């Protein structure tokens, strides 16, 4: 029996999950109530994204051995992978209560708290793990990640330097060093660490994401946007909502001030234009610069399949927008210019679809974007149907008005979907 478990553990360490599952099921055929085998099978199934079965196996492990810590750890890991962060945290804390001398348990708790944007709690969990094993690589890296989010980049860099000195071939340490440098605005040195991480582990998604961001950060405009994105990422969900609503309220105050005191218009108007441009960039900067990476020999290889799909849609939408602008300029028909405006604005909710987490949030955002597309298309069709008149019918005007309102509200919907708990 132990030989079968050892073989399954080896296969898991080699990321050969299908073979590991087969081995574990053979063990469970001989001993159906083997708690450790159920827990390992749960981890294996979670790696294969079979989350419901994984949850059931972890619960069976706990049922067979409720006082064994490993079953609770497996359940916490599966729930973490599913995005059920609160329940994952509860299960992992129970595993730690049952066995407080396993650094990997503290590393899992730190990772969960990190994904909950609870940086202080993530740091505390990682440091507790390091009291058990001062050289634990997972806890060391998570400590560094939490320090970066807390704005303590110097300590984070020193922590990762120690980790790399102990294990220079650790891909995650190189990736974290890359992100630390990227947070500091040093894109080129960050690129070297991301490349090294991918050389060691070509499947490390954390490094692939980093190399894409570092390549885009070579452009000054995106470097500025990346600083904003990273800063927002360090805030709690509540603080992010505060920034969003605060910016909207401030823009309204400035507009009212401009109306009340016309002499301030030369000062306020550029500020409002800059704010509008910045808001648009927060929507389209990521897919737009990903589109530019499609023309870079190395950049196109770093993009994920999802990012390539996003650039295809965004590129098509911008292409239609430019074609409509050209048609309006040549023909002088205002309907073409309105069509160009609708297509240009539609880039924002369209990019929001790919910003939304995969699963139910993305399906909601996609449905919302499709609804806006129908409204925009109906309004444009009405304009062309009424040529040579330059005015839309009441129905067409209503469609265009709802489209504009929907584009504005899309930002709030996306923010709610991103900050909400994602379950798989």
Assess contact for 106 and 139: CB atoms under 8 A: yes
Phi, psi of 249, deg, nearest 5? -65, -40
Assess contact for 102 and 132: CB atoms under 8 A: yes
Q: What is the mean pLDDT of residues 128-144?
A: 91
Packing angle between helix 69-82 and helix 35-47, nearest 10 degrees?
20
Give the burial string for 32-53 (b: 16+ CB within 10 Å, else e).
eebbbbbbbbbbbbbbeebbeb
- Residue 250: pLDDT band (50, 70, 90) is confident
Cis status, amide bond into 15, omega within 30 of 0:
no
Q: What is the mean pLDDT of residues 179-197?
A: 87
Cα separation, 187 vs 178, in Å, equals 8
The tokens describing 283, both together, are 């929507």
Cα separation, 191 vs 179, in Å, equals 9
Average pLDDT, the chain: 87
Residue 152 in this model has a pLDDT that exceeds 80: yes
Q: What is the mean pLDDT of residues 13-19?
A: 84
Assess contact for 39 and 99: CB atoms under 8 A: no
Cα separation, 179 vs 189, in Å, equals 10
Q: What is the mean pLDDT of residues 131-137?
A: 91
- Residue 304: pLDDT band (50, 70, 90) is confident
The tokens describing 241, both together, are 């909502």
From the CA atom positions of the chain, what is the Rg in Å? Answer: 26
Cα separation, 79 vs 412, in Å, equals 27
Residue 415 in this model has a pLDDT that exceeds 90: no
What pLDDT is stored for residue 421 in this prediction? 54
Assess contact for 95 and 69: CB atoms under 8 A: yes
What pLDDT is stored for residue 15 in this prediction? 80
Assess contact for 129 and 99: CB atoms under 8 A: no
Q: What is the mean pLDDT of residues 230-237?
A: 73
Residue 422 in this model has a pLDDT that exceeds 70: no
Cα separation, 71 vs 193, in Å, equals 36
Instruction: Give the DSSP letter of residue 421.
Output: P
Cα separation, 257 vs 131, in Å, equals 57
Q: What is the DSSP string of 102-157?
A: -HHHHHHHHHHHHHTT-HHHHHHHHHHHHHH-TT-HHHHHHHHHHHHHTT-HHHHH
The percentage of the chain sitting over the pLDDT mark of 90, rounded to a whole number, equals 36
What digits encode the pLDDT tens for the residues 54-75? 999 999 999 999 999 999 999 9
* Higher pLDDT, residue 143 or 284: 143
If you average pLDDT over each of 3-17, 23-37, 93-107, 243-257, which comes out highest? 93-107
Residues in CB range of 373: below 8 A, 6 or more apart: 346
Residue 424 in this model has a pLDDT that exceeds 70: no
What pLDDT is stored for residue 420 in this prediction? 66
What digits encode the pLDDT tens for the residues 397-409? 999 999 999 998 9
Residue with tokens 């650094």: 103
What digits encode the pLDDT tens for the residues 204-216? 888 898 888 888 8
Q: What is the mean pLDDT of residues 42-57?
A: 92
The tokens describing 108, both together, are 């899992």
Cα separation, 376 vs 342, in Å, equals 6
What digits encode the pLDDT tens for the residues 75-125? 999 999 988 889 999 999 999 999 999 999 999 999 999 988 888 999 999
Cα separation, 375 vs 339, in Å, equals 12
**Measured between alpha carbons, how far is residue 101 from residues 62, 119, 130, 303 in Å?**
19, 23, 10, 40
What digits encode the pLDDT tens for the residues 273-287? 887 777 777 777 888
Residue with tokens 């490390």: 204
Assess contact for 193 and 178: CB atoms under 8 A: yes
What pLDDT is stored for residue 13 in this prediction? 81
Residue 364 in this model has a pLDDT that exceeds 60: yes
The continuous run of DSSP H or E covering 98 comes out as: helix 85-98
């Amino acid at each position: 029996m132990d030989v079968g478990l050892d073989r399954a553990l080896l296969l898991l360490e080699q990321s050969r999950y299908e073979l590991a599952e087969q081995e574990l099921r053979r063990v469970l055929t001989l001993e159906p109530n083997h708690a450790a085998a159920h827990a390992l099978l749960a981890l294996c199934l979670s790696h294969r994204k079979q989350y419901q079965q994984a949850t059931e196996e972890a619960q069976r492990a706990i049922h067979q051995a409720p006082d064994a810590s490993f079953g609770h750890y497996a359940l916490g890991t599966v729930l973490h992978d599913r995005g059920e962060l609160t329940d994952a945290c509860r299960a992992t804390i129970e595993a730690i209560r049952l066995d407080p001398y396993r650094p990997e348990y503290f590393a899992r708790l730190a990772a969960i708290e990190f994904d909950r944007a609870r940086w202080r709690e993530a740091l505390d969990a990682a440091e507790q793990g390091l009291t058990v094993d001062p050289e634990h690589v997972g806890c060391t890296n998570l400590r560094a990640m939490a320090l970066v989010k807390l704005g303590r980049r110097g300590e984070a860099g020193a922590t990762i330097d120690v980790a790399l000195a102990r294990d220079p071939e650790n891909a995650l340490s190189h990736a974290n060093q890359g992100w630390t440098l990227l947070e500091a605005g040093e894109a080129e040195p960050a690129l070297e660490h991301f490349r090294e991480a991918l050389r060691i582990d070509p499947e490390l998604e954390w490094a692939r994401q980093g190399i894409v961001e570092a390549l885009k950060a070579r452009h000054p405009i995106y470097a500025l946007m990346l600083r904003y994105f990273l800063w927002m990422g360090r805030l709690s969900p509540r603080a992010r909502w505060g920034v969003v609503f605060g910016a909207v309220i401030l823009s309204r105050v400035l507009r009212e001030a401009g109306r009340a005191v016309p002499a301030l218009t030369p000062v306020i108007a550029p500020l409002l234009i800059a704010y509008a441009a910045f808001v648009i960039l927060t929507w389209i900067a990521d897919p737009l610069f990903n589109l530019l990476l499609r023309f870079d020999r190395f950049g196109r290889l770093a993009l994920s399949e999802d990012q390539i799909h996003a650039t295809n849609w965004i590129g098509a939408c911008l292409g239609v927008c430019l074609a409509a602008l050209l048609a309006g300029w040549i023909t002088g028909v205002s309907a073409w210019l309105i069509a160009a405006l609708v297509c240009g604005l539609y880039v924002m909710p369209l990019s929001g679809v790919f910003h939304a987490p995969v699963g139910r949030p993305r399906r909601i955002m996609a449905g919302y974007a499709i609804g806006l597309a129908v409204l925009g298309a109906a309004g444009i069709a009405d304009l062309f149907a009424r040529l040579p008149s330059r005015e839309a019918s009441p129905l067409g005007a209503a469609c265009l008005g709802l489209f504009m309102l929907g584009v504005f509200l899309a930002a709030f919907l996306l923010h709610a979907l991103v900050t909400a708990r994602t379950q798989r």
